[in-house]
Structure 1
């Protein structure tokens, strides 16, 4: 069966290590779109950090951000779906991790906020090309009636790997906990992930599960890779991700997204 919808992770998947998209990848995506295949991005990034890439590719469908906590139209900025961590719960988690001496950022639509900018936040701002605000999170969360899309903890991987089970025991029924990079531990509302969002998008377009391809490299991509009819792991993905995928393509530095689209999408369009 032909692929009609392709979802691509951004970092270490669609993007090369210098955070650009290769000409070959751009060409493959635009050729697939010209032949009627719907292409989208599914990322843990915030919308403002995702939009320039979506615009570069000329994507004409909603994009999935915050690991599925928000689905938004690229050009208009219209929010089609939004699910937040309630403010009271977010405040509890932020205080908990602060007591453990860990750094946290919270995300509120297109804002990213932290108590104090440090080397972790400066590196994040460089990667994502965003401005990071400083604010007292306890005050901010007491004023924000709805909640936040995401909480991000940044620390050394060994420290996060020790912390994740502890947070899972305490908050696992309330938030979804995942890793997007070795030093990034991320939390969203428990009902959302990239797989849930991709399934909703496919349903909106009347596209069957087996007609969906998902391409990613990290733990936050697992749900969509397992949901898709064709789940693709990048050549640079962790072994745990490759083992769950139907196909392993080449690395992000070797145009792995283009390789997958050319072989399993364009070659199969009649």
Structure 2
């Protein structure tokens, strides 16, 4: 069976691995320049791609899907924007979500990657709130269920009269275990995995053991990290990052989406 997986995020990678180990001929098509680009740094992305390639997955990055061709009620191919066609008997859509901001923009609300909101989930018009996949909080559009639920709980409490209710962001830990014919591939990432100018970076690679470690420190504060293989320390690192992030958010003035 020929399978094309559209999307190289967490779900796309997991689907590609699962299908490959069951004998399918898998092609993973990713619009971005690398796999899991929202959660991993380039080095970790390269390790994931190498793992998938070792399972027989054909990885295409920087390719945009234009159409899915069908005939006789069945999928036949996936056409890319450059005109190249990938033969397919099955297509898996794992390309995530992108906020549809046209209505908000037409209404005069501030829009970035999503509808911009503050810690009270108010838009630039204080009488309008936004939550979920369309909302951009502190520069982040999550596109995930957990942040949407946390935003809904915070907004419901606020509208019910709890003036202390605020949404200060979701500090999620991405953890992925890919099993294959040999040893499993373990990966974890949290916070900002790519450094900004002036950040301190500790990076360790052990090709023999198949491990990769990277932590990013900004002004003596842990802001993110990524670990591949031997994840024994990830819990302690993630807890330290979460505690420091909460402490910083408590000290900082709440961002406002409106004047």
TM-score normalised by length of structure 2: 0.28
Please identify the structure whose Cα radius of gyration is greater.
2
- Structure number with greater CO (CA < 8 Å, separation at least 6) is 1
Q: Going by fraction, where is helix more abundant, 1 or 2?
A: 1
What's the TM-score once normalised by structure 1's chain length? 0.27
- Name the structure with the higher strand share: 2
